[in-house]
Structure 1
Amino acid sequence: MTPTLTSLDHLVLTVADLTATVSFYTDVLGMVAQEFEVADGSTRTSLLFGAQKINLHQAGSEFKPHGKAPTPGSGDLCFLTEASLEDWEAQLDAKGVLVEEGPVQRSGAVGPIMSLYIRDPDGNLIEISVPVAQV
């Protein structure tokens, strides 16, 4: 039998300013920052949400192994939410975050979604989405 993958555990973002990134993802998107120690004794930072996390690498001090060309601002991430996009628009407005596009309909992994697009401090494109069935 051919092995298959079942889910995403974590991904890594290379960031220019760790503090600004943590602030954005916790204050604006509601993620939880967590520091953790790895086998070599170094401390790393991650952002927890749902059953996933984003590990953060400071640009110029990336942990090995890492992507071939780690670069701040090269990400394009889509996050699902159970909240309404109207609630997100109010949250983003209150935090002074510009909505670049949306709400617009897109294609998600399991069906149509409605999305808002914003950018994080490094310029990564962040998509906040609701399955169309929930709208």
Structure 2
Amino acid sequence: MIDHLDHLVLTTSRPAACIDFYTRVLGMQLERFVGGTPPVERQALKFGHQKINLHVQGAEFEPKAHLPVPGALDLCFIAAVPLDAAIARLAACGWPVVEGPVERTGATGKIRSVYVRDPDLNLIEISERL
């Protein structure tokens, strides 16, 4: 029944820092759009064929998760570059690696990963397929 993930929603308490991390450090593109009922201006972070819609804590859009809180996500992204290049970018941006590189199992097989925390303390896994 399900083919792929289109988008997910990230609740942030620090929108400027969140946007900086996902755009400057991870290389995603900021998108502004109008959506919802009634239509309101929204922000999203685009990468590949997916996006992350942003909700600001206390000003979430309806409908929303039952308990939207910053720092509750644990996300794994497959890098578009070799993992060593991703690690070098993190270092160049002054972003600390929490763990790794380590070998893990992803959705389609073995992956090699590093873990970082975003400004809201969500756990972000950056991986390459092995």
1:61 aligns with 2:59: yes
Q: Paired residue for 1:87?
A: 85
Aligned partner of 1:126 among 108, 124, 127: 124
The DSSP-based 3-state class of the residue aligned with 1:61 is coil
Q: Paired residue for 1:78?
A: 76
Q: Distance in 2 between matches of 1:102 and 1:17?
A: 26
The correspondence of residues 21-60 of structure 1 with structure 2, limited to 5 A, is 21-39=18-36, 40-60=38-58
Unaligned runs of 5+ in 1: none
Residues matched between the structures, number: 129
The DSSP-based 3-state class of the residue aligned with 2:52 is strand
Q: Paired residue for 1:9?
A: 6
1:18 aligns with 2:12: no
Which amino acid is the alignment partner of residue 97 of structure 1?
W
RMSD of aligned Cα (Å): 0.8
Larger radius of gyration: 1
Unaligned runs of 5+ in 2: none
Q: Distance in 2 between matches of 1:44 and 1:15?
A: 13
Q: State the shift of 1:84 in Å.
A: 1.3
Which amino acid is the alignment partner of residue 66 of structure 2?
K
TM-score (norm 1): 0.93
Which amino acid is the alignment partner of residue 57 of structure 1?
H
**Stretches of 4+ aligned residues off by more than 3 angstroms:** none
Which amino acid is the alignment partner of residue 5 of structure 1?
I
